[in-house]
Structure 1
Amino acid sequence: MSNLLTVEKANFFIGQLQVLRDISLNIAKNETIMLIGRNGAGKTSTLKTIIGLYMLTSGRIIFDGVDVTKIPAHKRASKLGIAYSPEDSKVFPDLTVEENIKMGIWLAGNKKNDDRDIMETIYNIFPEIKPLMKRKGIYCSGGEKKMVSVARALALRPKLMLLDEPMEGLAPVVVQRFKKALNDIENMGISLLITESNVNTALSMNRKTLVIERGEIIYEGEPSEILKREDIYRIVRGV
């Protein structure tokens, strides 16, 4: 299975503070990986370096055979097919749900006659969105904003989606809906890198798992093995 994304010894500093320490990871085509860590462990920083919001101090990022280390974020999204849904959703409050989602379509440069196909795909994955299309973002609930944010990323027609804690703070029934939606996105052949601070939620996804702590990857493997590693399990539980 060929790699879609390769991160090689990525280091990132903010001033004198080292945030990421020799991060290396691979994501294959059509693969989903869970990145688990406590708050402040480096999960979001990892995603932001991959999308290009943070530029690496050292290291390389290879995406679909292209060295994107110095390519700006908007080109990684619009030209290369990396989409990002941030933890706080970043839904534009004064735009409607439809306008928020179509920001992704416009950024990707898709033709207007392709809009219908993209929107139908989104409606199939998130049917809850369809009745909300004329509602402004400011009036959406937290769960609705999460759906809109992921839908906007999906509208880019990406090869890889970076989802930062998409299930954080959601009611259990909504978490189950998100899990189904993520399975549907996987079935489209899109690779996913999903961060999660709730270890139980992450393990329930039953996907290849990385654990990050203090900016370092300290575990890579099957999620079931984390339960057998008391040292790793205590870290992700915050004990």
Structure 2
Amino acid sequence: MLAVEGIDTYRGPAHILNGVSLHVDRQEVVCLVGRNGAGKTTTIESIMGFLPVRSGRILFHDEDMTTLPPHERAKRGIGYSPEDCGVFPDLSVGENLMISRWLGDTVARRRNGGPRPDAEAQAFGLFPEVRNLLQRRGLHLSGGQRKMVAIARAIMLSPALLLLDEAFEGLAPVVVNRFAEAVMKIKAMGVSILMAESHLGAATRIGDRLYAIDRGEIIFHGPPQAALADEKVVKALRG
């Protein structure tokens, strides 16, 4: 579904990603793990089109998207929940969700030409609490609520691929369990997931495959349990 082929990405003069390659197949959860500053967010933002790629290619359903702007990637069915959640503070939760709801009609027509799934039922099925927040402004949400809204908004797009950047960061352990269950529900909807995560333990719980990144280079690819036994990966994550 997604193929990232040898991309190099810069932030200003800093060369962040060096020949990063990874792929995501249909209906699987792939975790990209690494410590803070290793290149996880830069990888996600390169795939979404927020950062230009200097070399390499990004393919989605065999279409070269390397130079497409972010909104065109969204129209092709790539959902995105950023690390900072990206919830508009002056809009209500309902208005935040409606942004993706509108675009989701275009995504569904492009994909199959027929009716789309019930986006509201899917989003509220993940996080029923969001239904009770529809009138609340984004400014007045807690950290956990913002993460719920960000993921629900991405699901409103009816994506084929969902990019999650640090979805578990800053959450209490009991809340992490809720979010892990939500990821599994999203997978059951037929959505593929690429998830950037700092904690190896959390990634191994939900990932079908795992990539480890350090200093902008992929240093491991394989089954999650193999990563736990790899001293190089564990050492890199500890910094």
TM-score (norm 1): 0.93
Contact (CA 8 Å) 1:199, 1:237: kept in 2 or not? no
Give the Cα separation in 2 of the matches to 1:176 and 1:133.
24
Contact (CA 8 Å) 2:30, 2:207: kept in 1 or not? no
Provide closer, same or farther for how the CA distance between residues 41 and 152 of structure 1 changes in structure 2, counting only shifts above 3 A: same
Give the Cα separation in 2 of the matches to 1:7 and 1:215.
14
Contact (CA 8 Å) 2:20, 2:218: kept in 1 or not? yes
Q: Aligned residues: percent identity?
A: 44
Name the counterpart of 2:153.
152
Give the Cα separation in 2 of the matches to 1:108 and 1:226.
36
- Unpaired stretches in structure 1, ≥5 consecutive residues: none
Aligned to 2:67, which of 65, 70, 79?
Answer: 70
Give the Cα separation in 2 of the matches to 1:219 and 1:96.
42
Say if 2:60 is the partner of 1:59.
no
- Unpaired stretches in structure 2, ≥5 consecutive residues: 109-114
- Quote the offset at 1:227 in angstroms: 2.1
String of CA shifts for 1:191-232, please: whole Å, max 9, x gaps: 000011122222222431100000000000011112221122
Name the counterpart of 1:98.
94
Contact (CA 8 Å) 1:161, 1:191: kept in 2 or not? yes
Give the Cα separation in 1 of the matches to 2:11 and 2:165.
20
Task: List aligned pairs for 1:126-165, cutoff 5 A.
Answer: 126-165=127-166
Give the Cα separation in 2 of the matches to 1:141 and 1:128.
12
- Which stretches of structure 1, 4 residues or more, deviate above 6 A after TM superposition? none
- Quote the offset at 1:237 in angstroms: 2.2
Name the counterpart of 1:107.
103
TM-score (norm 2): 0.93
Contact (CA 8 Å) 2:212, 2:221: kept in 1 or not? yes
- Quote the offset at 1:115 in angstroms: 9.2
String of CA shifts for 1:133-152, please: whole Å, max 9, x gaps: 11111111100100000111
Say if 2:85 is the partner of 1:84.
no
Give the number of equivalent residue pairs.
Answer: 232
- Quote the offset at 1:14 in angstroms: 2.7
